[in-house]
Every structure is written in C-alpha cells, then in structure tokens.
Amino acid sequence: MADNADAPPPPIVPSQYAQHPDAPLSSLPVQLDPKQYTAKYPAKHLDAIVANWRLACYLGVAQIFLQSNALMQRKLTKDDVKPRLLGHFGTGPGLSLAYAHTQALIRRKGEEEGAEPKMIFVTGPGHGAPAILSPLYIEGAISKFYPQYPLNEQGLEKFVKYFSWPGGFPSHVNAETPGCIHEGGELGYALGVAYGSVMDRPEQISVVVVGDGESETGPTATAWHSHKWLDPAESGAVLPILHVNGFKISERTIPGTMDNIELSLLYSGYGYQVRFVEYKAQGEAHMGGNDPADRVLHEDMAASLDWAYTEIRKIQKAARSGGKPIDKPRWPMIILRSPKGWTGPSSEHGKQLLNNFASHQVPLPDAKTDDEANAYLERWLKSYEADKLFDFSEDNLKRGTIFDQLLYEALPKDMERRLGFVKETYNAYKPLELDDWKKYGYKKGEDVSCMKAIAGYLTDVIKRNPKDFRIFSPDELASNKLDGVFSVTERNMQWDPETAHKGGRVTEMLSEHSLQAWLQGYTLTGRHGVFPSYEAFLGIVATMTVQYTKFMKMALETNWRGPTASLTYIETSTWTRQEHNGYSHQNARSEPGFVSTVLSLPSQLARVYFPSDANTSVSVIAHCLRSKNYINLIVGTKAPTPVYLSVEEAERHCIAGASVWENYSVDKGVDPDVVLVGIGYELTEEVVHAAALLRKDFGTDLRVRVVNVVDLLVLAPKGDHPHALDEAGFNSLFPPGVPIIFNYHGYAGQLASLLFDRKHSVGRSRMRIFAYSEQGTTTTPFAMMCCNNTDRFNLAAEALEMVTLNLTTQHNITGDEKRHRVGSVVARAHERMSFYKHKKVVMMRYAAETQKDHPEIGEVATLAEQ
C-alpha cells in the first residue's frame, strides 16, 4: 500500500504533449468546423436555441428594471420601472447562453442516444441570477416549485416584478433557485463544487460557468486541478466554461488581458483541451441579440458543446469498457469570449457601456427618472422581440404555457432532465449505513488516540458505504492519525499510478478550498463526507463554510428541498500538541476563527464537540454522521490518552452533553465548594490533575466537583440553541453561588459570549475562564499548558483562591462546620497557593533544561477515594 511504500515510486506518466513535442503553440486550442456539427441538426433547433436565449435575455432585463408592464404590451413609462434597480446585467447574456446551450445539448444527445444525459448547471457568477431565473421560468421549474408564479400572463408579471423585491427571488443565485447547488454570493468555489457533485456519479455531467474575475480567486485557481481526483470509471465529468467578458466590477480581468495562446498555455497546463468560442463583431453591434455575429457564435457554441461531450464520452468509454483507461486524460473546456453587457445598450451620454465594466450591474440607472434613459430602456427591451415568442392562444394555454412551441425544441423532453428539475440538486439524501458505535468502543483505562478511535469507526463506514462516503483531507490523514482507514481504502489521485483507479475514498489535496468545495458539491447532491484538518488551518475555509450555511438555511426554508448530510469537520493536531511545530501551528483559530465561525452560524445549524477520550470520540463521530443539515465541528486530540469513560458512561455523557465526573470529584461531586470544568481533552486532563492535587492536600475538607463538557453548545443561553441547558440543568452542574473555573480549549471570548446571557442563573463574577491565549512556542506539551495558564498548578491555585474568598464571605456557614472545614482550608490556602505557583516554575525550568516534561506530569491522575 502506498502508505508503507518499500519501493521507489513509479516513474512519472508522460503527458499527451509528449507525443507531439514539436507542435507549435498555436495548435494548442482545439480547431473544429462548426458547420460539420450543426449541419446535422434541423435549422429549427438552432432557431430554438437562439429564441430561448433572446427570451431569457429579455426576461433578465425585465426582472432588473420592471415592476409592471412585463410583457411590454403598452408604452413603457417611468412608473413601470422599479424604485431600486438591483441585480447584475453584464454577465447575464453569457450565462443565459451557456444555460440555453446546455439544455439543447441534453436534447440533442437524447435524440441521438435514446436517453437524455443527466446534467447539472453551476453558475459561478451567481450575481447574474436574472439570467438563470429566466430560463428556469421558461422551462417550467419556477412554476413547479413556486406555484405563485404560474406560466401565464399574471404569473409572468409577478415573476418579473418580484425579482430583488422583498419576499421575492434574491439578486444572487442561492438555495431558492431550482437546480442550484451553491451559494452564488462569494465568488470562487463554483468549479470545485461542480467537481464534488460528479464524484461517484458516473452518469452525471456538471457544466459550470466560471467568471473571468472569479477565476482570479484562490479557490478557483486551485480547483482547476480537481480533475486529477476524478476517475472516469467511477465518477462523472465536469465541463468548465470560462466566461471571459473581460471585466469585473470596475477593472479588467486577468484572462481579459490574455491572448488565446496565453490562455491555451495556462489551461492546457492545468490539463484541459481548450476550445475558444468567440464573439467576433461583424460591423456595429445591435442590441437584442440578433446581429450576425450572435448567430455565428451560437453555431460555434453548439458545435463546441457537441465536441466537448464527445471528448468526455471518449475518456469515459476508455476507462469503463474494461480496456485501458487514458493516462492523464485531457478533459475538454470552453473559453467563451463575449462582450460584457452583450445585447445591451452600447453607450449613453458618451459613456461606453457595451464591452465595458460600466454594464456590470445596471447600465441605464436613470431609467426611472430620466425620459431619455426610459426611452432607451424601452428600445432595448423591444430589441429582443420577445412579443414574437409569446403565444397566448387557447391551445397553448391548455398546454400549460404562454411561450411559443419553438422554444421547447431546444429543451430536454424529459422534464426531469431540465436543469431546474434534476433531483440530485434538491432531494437526493440517503442516510449512511452505520453500525452501533458502541461496538467500536474501548476499555476504560486503556491508552487510545481519539483519532485512531475515530478512524476505526470510519473504516467500518467506508466498508458499508463504498460509493456514498469520502474523506476530504489536506494531506494530513497520516499525520492526524486517521490513517487506520487505509486498511480498507486508498487515496484517489488519478495522476499517481499508485492510487489511480482504485476507488479510494480518501481525497487528499493540499488545498483546503478545493476540499471544502468538493465536500459541498458531494454533500449537496446526496452523499456524505468528513473533512479532517490541522486545527491551525481550517479557518482557511471559514467564509466558504459561512456561505454554505447560508445556502443550507435557505434550503431549509424552502418547502421543496430535501435534507442534506451535515458537513462534519474534525480538527486535530491542536495547539495543545503542536509544541513541536511551534507558534505558527498553535491556533485555536484566531478570532474570527473556526470555532468562532461555527458559533456565529445560525445556532440551530451549529454543533461543536470536544470529545474527552476515545469512547466519547467514537460516539460523537457516529452521531455527526447520522445527523442532517448541520455544521458539525469536532475538536479532538490525536495522542494516545487514557479512556476516562466506559462505553456506557460515554453514551450517557454524550447524551447529556456535559456531566459531573464523579470518579474524579470529592464525594462524587455532591455539594461542591468549587466546580472545575474541562472542555477539550488536554484541558480536561489538567482539570483532573488539579482536582487530584487539591484532594491530596485537603482531602474531603475541600469539596471539588469535576465537570466535563463534550457538547459546547449546552452552555449557550437557554432558548438560543437546541442543546442549551435550561436553568435547572445549568444549576444541577453549576450550583448557584459556587465558584466555577473553566479550562477551555478555544479562546476565552468564545466561552464568555456563550455564558454572557446566563446572568440570572449564574452571576458571572463567580466564573473564571482559562483558555488558549495565543501564547506558545516550540516547547514541551506541559509547558504549552503553562504558557496559557491552563495547567493544573494554576487551576489548583485559582480554585483555592476562589474558594477562600467565597468561604470567608459566606455567612451561612457557621458553628463547627465553619471551624472545621473553613478553618482547615482557609488557614492553609495561602501556603498551598504559593506552593502550586512554585511547582509550576519548577516544571517550566525542568522543561527548559531537558526538552521534556517532568516525569511527574505524565503520571495518570488519581481517582478520588470512593
């Protein structure tokens, strides 16, 4: 197995360019004669594509501008124009073009092959929502999912008006958009999402439009490599369309400054065959999508999609027919060069609109207030000749539409294949086959790595779910001690002969962005995955997670999307055990960081777990894999550590989310003078040791309760989170008036913000929080604790101080009890506190002199006398 390689790696597989080492650069872009392809279709088919496109462009402009008169059956007035002109036009015609041609391709291939292929459409420039909503309305998907917008005159008026209108469709594609599988606000991850959506779906092709501005983002730049993790035998294909309209909001794009040779070199280097489809002006451009150059481009686009489809099928056939898969297949891609603001007004008051960033958003912003602009808008809308594409005859209305039948000649016949209807985009969830986690538990007292315990469970998940579950990991599976899964699976990199074509479930790329995007695409189309990572670096995907959660929240608010598996992150190699990698790897995720990120999500969707041993770890991962529609974050340690709880105890503890650890508390934790709370494995271990120190010194005179919190959000304010403790539950763990010391793995602020609203049941002055405080260096594990004041000596000293202050001011302790207990604790408190502080200094000195922790530190904490 690759992980235990005892032989040198196989030689690098030569690229296909190696067969033509002397080929001139100009031969890199794919050459084809569009007529050869389009001659095969009836002329009506191309007319139908053009009609779909022009109508979609019209409806797109209408959505941006009109609150009434959507059909333009009377003269346009300023009153017809919306008060707020929202949405983006510039990218629209290119997007609608790609959409119309994808639908037409499905139709053609269905006619040729007998069954229409299954495709998904992913819109990178999600700000161009009107351009996608329009064809969705034409194909019937809007009316299916939103019966308030029927395919009749009133429905269309309403559909146009309610774009970017309170209560209507938002300005960016999102979960409310049929067929959509990504949040279209934050640019950059459409390409990766498209790749995730086809993994383990051999029959599926996802067409994705990537904006040329979007292509400048880090997530997109890295996602071009995604095909290297796509085995054409087990997975489908992605057809990227890079939309080079040359401009972003107010600047040229990088691809917009590159010639065809430069672009071919770049994308050929990523491993693609590049086909250019270009708008080549023939004289002055007309508005309305009806100039000769438009028709030429349509022919080229149709032919190029046919070519791309054929190339995809060639690669898949070679891999699937039992013959020899093509090494390093060069997947097709299309670079579409179209002018920004295509089909729109070319200039206004001497200002260039067409082919300029000025048309990025709304080209005629004064259309409501200025007569000239309003008249220009009217000419523009009319230029699409949409009136020729409506058919209000009774026969047509009976068919359930108001659109000319010509339009349907370029749409998939099978409704389920129309891009807004594809089931995989909205209702494909199937639960995993999962075994009872308790079979994967450990004996109390054993030393077991929490991550190895999780890997043990995941191994079984992989065996039971060979096609629906993947691990997306940034090159750290072995380092994170999750490599036990390699007993049943492999990595999945297709350019490495050692891991190609083996059905591996481990998808490892050193790009957290790509992993996140793949996981999203994979999950939103019905499958399951986990994302383990070094704790220090998961924050890289924080904004993507936030965007994804927005998608999920809105998905839950639609009544037509089914559930999706939760996204489950496993953060390990935490700051507490990054003493060897040093300060750069010591992050509990700086604010705003990953725990903070998850805590800031809509609370009903967020879950944060800090398992405290191997058994709680297995219980938590099993729970997370069963869950739906959440963002689960598990933060755990990877070093072998004692199993504190039996399987049964772990189950009870995880159900409660937090409980008293009686075995480490005085008198089972009854009637405590102080509560020590551990959250996170190492932090809990220090709590257990601090309790042991106090017990050793004070016996039962000082009543210490140890609490562990495994489910962080039990501490959330009541009513804020489904897991939040109610007041009785909170008081049960933290009796009123008793000092509490939290030893928390994350940042103090995270915990403080959860506890802030507990003012009634708590009284915050009796709490102290010790947590990671950005102190660290290359040192020993215990010295890391000391740097952050989360060590046992500090906790014991702090506990004693709080108890002393509390006991000396409590007036209800009287008589013998006062003389005995208070006297014996308080009288010795100062001397013991000084000793603990001294001991800490001794331990730090020992670490500095020997590069190891004092042997006493590693001793197993003693159980309380029972």
Ligand X SMILES: Cc1ncc(C[n+]2csc(CCOP(=O)(O)OP(=O)(O)O)c2C)c(N)n1
Q: Which phi and psi angles does 803 have, rounded to 5°?
A: -65, -45
CB 141 within 8 A of CB 178: yes
Among 182, 248, 527, 550, binds ligand X (CB under 6 A): 248
Stretch 191-220 residues interacting with ligand X (CB under 6 A): 211-214, 217
CA distance 685 to 702: 20
CB of 544 to ligand X, least distance (A): 10
Distances (CA, A) of 522 to 199, 330, 437, 607, 620: 7, 23, 24, 20, 22
Tell me how crowded residue 542 is: count the other CB atoms within 10 A of its CB: 19
Nearer residue to ligand X within complex by CB, 186 or 231: 186
Binding region for ligand X (CB under 6 A) out of 4-12, 86-94, 606-614, 745-753: 86-94
Q: Is 129 near ligand X (CB under 6 A)?
A: no
What's the one-letter identity of residue 54? R
Nearer residue to ligand X within complex by CB, 187 or 645: 187
167 contact partners, CB below 8 Å, separation of at least 6: none
What character string, x for contact with ligand X (CB under 6 A) and - otherwise, covers 394-433? ----------------------------------------
Nearer residue to ligand X within complex by CB, 185 or 563: 185
Q: Is 243 near ligand X (CB under 6 A)?
A: yes
CA distance 461 to 98: 39
Q: Is 441 near ligand X (CB under 6 A)?
A: no
CB of 311 to ligand X, least distance (A): 25
Among 52, 63, 91, 465, binds ligand X (CB under 6 A): 91
Stretch 492-531 residues interacting with ligand X (CB under 6 A): none
Tell me how crowded residue 310 is: count the other CB atoms within 10 A of its CB: 13
Q: Is 90 near ligand X (CB under 6 A)?
A: yes
Nearer residue to ligand X within complex by CB, 207 or 455: 207
Q: Is 55 near ligand X (CB under 6 A)?
A: no
CB of 355 to ligand X, least distance (A): 12
Nearer residue to ligand X within complex by CB, 172 or 695: 172
CA distance 591 to 572: 18
The count of residues interacting with ligand X (CB under 6 A) is: 22
Nearer residue to ligand X within complex by CB, 131 or 462: 131
Tell me how crowded residue 652 is: count the other CB atoms within 10 A of its CB: 12
What 3 state SS string does 191-243 have?
HHHHHHHHCCCCCEEEEEEEECCHHHCHHHHHHHHHHHHCCCCCCCEEEEEEE
Coil, strand or helix at 531: strand
- DSSP class of residue 501 equals T
CB of 617 to ligand X, least distance (A): 35
From 504, 510, 474, select the one nearest 492 (Cα to Cα): 504
From 754, 843, 751, select the one nearest 794 (Cα to Cα): 843
Computed from CA positions of residues 261, 266, 268, 274, in that sequence, does the dihedral angle turn out positive or negative?
Answer: negative
Stretch 294-353 residues interacting with ligand X (CB under 6 A): 340
Nearer residue to ligand X within complex by CB, 211 or 678: 211
Among 249, 670, 848, 860, binds ligand X (CB under 6 A): 249
Stretch 342-371 residues interacting with ligand X (CB under 6 A): 360
CA distance 627 to 183: 22
Stretch 535-564 residues interacting with ligand X (CB under 6 A): none
The pairing of beta strand 118-123 with beta strand 204-211: parallel
Stretch 131-190 residues interacting with ligand X (CB under 6 A): 185-188
**Token digits for 773?**
């405080």
659, β-bridge pairs: 708
285 contact partners, CB below 8 Å, separation of at least 6: 291, 293, 339, 346, 354
CB 432 within 8 A of CB 491: no
Nearer residue to ligand X within complex by CB, 15 or 346: 346
Binding region for ligand X (CB under 6 A) out of 111-119, 247-255, 579-587, 822-830: 247-255
Computed from CA positions of residues 622, 627, 629, 633, in that sequence, does the dihedral angle turn out positive or negative?
Answer: negative
CB of 6 to ligand X, least distance (A): 45
CB of 191 to ligand X, least distance (A): 12
Stretch 695-754 residues interacting with ligand X (CB under 6 A): none
CB of 858 to ligand X, least distance (A): 47
CA distance 181 to 162: 22
Among 108, 127, 227, 689, binds ligand X (CB under 6 A): 127
Binding region for ligand X (CB under 6 A) out of 245-253, 369-377, 709-717, 809-817: 245-253
CB of 536 to ligand X, least distance (A): 23
Residues that bind ligand X (CB under 6 A): 88, 90-91, 125, 127, 185-188, 211-214, 217, 243, 245, 247-249, 253, 340, 360
